[in-house]
Structure formats: structure tokens, C-alpha cells
Amino acid sequence: MFIRFTVENFLSFNRRTEFNMIASAEDRHKHHMLCANNDSLASLLRASIIYGANASGKSNLIRVMEFAKDFIVEGVEKNKNIGTIPFKLSNPDRLKEPSRFEFEFTCNGRQYAYGFVTNKRKVHEEWLFEVTLEKDDPIYERTGDDIKFNFSHSILQKIDDKEKARLGYEAESTRENLLFLTNTRERKIRHFDFAYKWFDDVLTIIFPHSRVATLPLLIRTEERRFGELLRPFDLGIERLSIREILFDDCKDIVYDKTGGRLDENRSIKDCIEALLIKKRPKKCKELFVHIHTNNNYSSQLYDKLTEFIHIRKAIESARRLGGCSPKDPQYPHKIGTELYKLMSKLLPL
């Protein structure tokens, strides 16, 4: 679970700014708290709200978290800039200073702090600590090119000398524009998987424009609950429902990304094809030819799609749909969810 996030010298945040979910000593609303089962850990709030005037930095805080998560999970290529954006409304020297990011989170009943300091070119500092109310216990710390491990910590305590040597080698070979935590994932060093997976699988950042691929499934299983959640907001929406239709036979009005109507006499499939082909003509044609007509999945096409989409799940969805033609009696009727997930990934391209 998320505990705390701090940022300094990035976007509109000059001085160190903190957003945390730590509960106060107020005990009148305990049903809003997740009480720690250990006196050394902090009790947390179940939910929180950020509010403030327009242009006060609310959205920027989420953008900062998204940037930090992407850098941790994806990293950057060799010889590429990291993409930091220092605070600009201060003295010129501030632009030359690095940006600082830190997350605190719970995992497997323990609380951790992970953070880094970086500029556009290199990572200056990086650290992973186990934190309690009494003390902070380091797991590893990085200063410049030097990474030191605390082999007395329980996570590293039982590894042998060979594994210690391997850790040292991988630490020394970590690129200056790459986080060591990111490198451990690439190099299959499993001791820190819990931290990497928290950022990759648990920390979920959703903007108003984000596409939620699992929404149809959630609506299907929780239709009544969705209606109850929407009514208090007075959006004019009484309920959400989902129905299955044959994708090829659907004739509905489809809008492009600018709000212009494409063609109400064309199927959704045709309109999506038109949008994609307009963006990436050659590769999009290959993609749809494969999905609708090709029974054999060639490795050459797989490589092209991997380069094009960069999202393995979308490719696998296309792969499952590639086995039969819409004219085939065995063509699946319940493909809406798979196509929705696939198209939600492809349309932004």
C-alpha cells in the first residue's frame, strides 16, 4: 500500500513537497483507517483527496509520480536523456540541480522507502530502506557510481559469497542513466523483486483521460454497485451496463479523437482501421490483415508488431483473434473484451 511520496525540484515543485497517507492521532473515524498490527509501523488512511485552486499543482503531483514510476519500471535506453524537468521559476542555478523523488510503501507486512536523485544525464543517488517508527534500516545505498549493500539486513543476510560478488559486479556495471532497481529486473536479481513489482503491479496511476481496459469486466460483475457510486455525483447517468454484440455487424456512429464523426454507415471495425491506417499506414494494414485473414502467425510479423505496439498483452490478444476469419462458423462471438483491450492500446498510437 502507498504511504508517502515526496518530490523536489521537478515541474512546479521547487522545495521538497510531500503527500502522505499516514493517519493522525484522531480516533473518531477508525473505519477510515488501516490500523497497523505492529506498534513499530504507521497506521494509514484508506483514501485521501487532493484539493486546491486551479493551476496550484494538483495534476502535476500525479504527473510527477507517473514520471518516477515510468523511470523505475521502464528505465531509459543507453545514451538517452532521463527527461527530468527542473523547477524553472527560480534562480538559474536551480535548473542545474538534480530532482529528488521518494516513495514509501508497504509490502509483505513491512514498510519500505525507495528513492533517487537524478538530473537529465545521470542518477546521483538511489536508496532502498526498510522503515519503522523507530529507525530506518538501509538495504542498499547508491552515491554516484558507488553502491553499498547492507548484508546484515534480512533480505540479503543469507546470500553466499558468490551471490555477493555478483551483486557487486552488477552494481558496478549499472549505467549512470539507469536505476539499480531497474537493472536488477533486467539482470534477474530476485532479491529486490518485491520493490520492483510494487511499482510495476501495485502502483496504478489513472488520469481522467486514461483508458481502463478492465472496465467492461468490472461493469459486468458489479453493475448495481457502479450505479450506486455514480448517482451521488449527479452526472445524469443512472446506470452502466454492457451487452455483447458481433463486432463485425455493429453499425454505430464512431467519433475520431477530435470529436468529428467518421461515418455512421461504416462498422466500428472499419472506422478503427481507418483511424489506425491514417496514423501508421503500412504497419496497420499488416496488423489487421493478420487479425482477420491470416491463420499462421509468422515470427517476422511478430517482430514487427512488437516494435510497433511495444505492448505484449495487446499482441497476444491479436494473436488469439488471428486464428479464424469472421466468415468462419467458429469465429468467436464473445471477442468484445479482447478487442476493446487491443484497440485501447492501439488507438493512442
Give one word for 174, left, alpha or beta, with left for phi > 0 and alpha for psi -120 to 50: beta
Q: 277-305, pLDDT tens digit by residue?
A: 454 444 444 444 444 444 444 444 444 44
% of the chain beyond a pLDDT of 70: 63
How far is C-alpha 161 from the geometric centre of its chain's CA atoms?
Answer: 35
Residue 212 has pLDDT above 70, yes or no: no
Q: For residue 56, how many C-alpha atoms fall within 13 Å in the half-sphere facing its CB? A: 6
**Whole-angstrom distance, CA of residue 336 vs CA of residue 238:** 23
Residue 179 has pLDDT above 70, yes or no: yes
**Whole-angstrom distance, CA of residue 110 vs CA of residue 181:** 18
Residue 130 has pLDDT above 90, yes or no: yes
Residue 229 has pLDDT above 70, yes or no: yes
**Whole-angstrom distance, CA of residue 118 vs CA of residue 97:** 9
**Is 145 in contact with 175 (CB distance < 8 Å)?**
no
DSSP 3-state assignment of 54? coil
Q: Which of 35-39, 92-96, 304-308 has the highest mean pLDDT?
A: 92-96
Question: What pLDDT is recorded for position 323?
Answer: 46
Q: Which value, in Å, is the radius of gyration of the alpha carbons in the chain?
A: 24
Strand bridging mode 2-8 / 99-107: antiparallel
Residue 324 has pLDDT above 80, yes or no: no
Report which of residues 265 and 301 the model is more confident about. 265
Question: What pLDDT is recorded for position 246?
Answer: 57
Residue 214 has pLDDT above 80, yes or no: no
Name which of 56-65, 72-81, 87-96, 282-291 the model is least confident about.
282-291
% of the chain beyond a pLDDT of 90: 42
CA distances from 102 to 21, 49, 113, 179, 258 (A): 14, 20, 7, 13, 37
Cell of 172: 558496478
How far is C-alpha 6 from the geometric centre of its chain's CA atoms?
Answer: 18
Cell of 265: 454507415
**Whole-angstrom distance, CA of residue 182 vs CA of residue 169:** 15
Question: What pLDDT is recorded for position 235?
Answer: 64
For residue 126, list its beta bridge partners: 116, 142
Residue 338 has pLDDT above 70, yes or no: no
* Residue 144 DSSP label: T
Cell of 160: 553466499
Considering Cα of 295, then 296, then 301, then 306, what sign does the dihedral take? Answer: positive
Name which of 16-25, 231-240, 331-340 the model is least confident about.
331-340
Which residue bears the cell 528513492? 115
Residues whose CB falls within 8 Å of the CB of residue 299, separated by 6 or more in sequence, listed in order: none
Question: What pLDDT is recorded for position 46?
Answer: 87
* Residue 192 DSSP label: G
Name which of 10-14, 103-107, 258-262 the model is least confident about.
258-262
Residue 200 has pLDDT above 60, yes or no: yes
Q: 40-60, pLDDT tens digit by residue?
A: 677 888 888 888 888 888 999
Question: What pLDDT is recorded for position 312?
Answer: 42
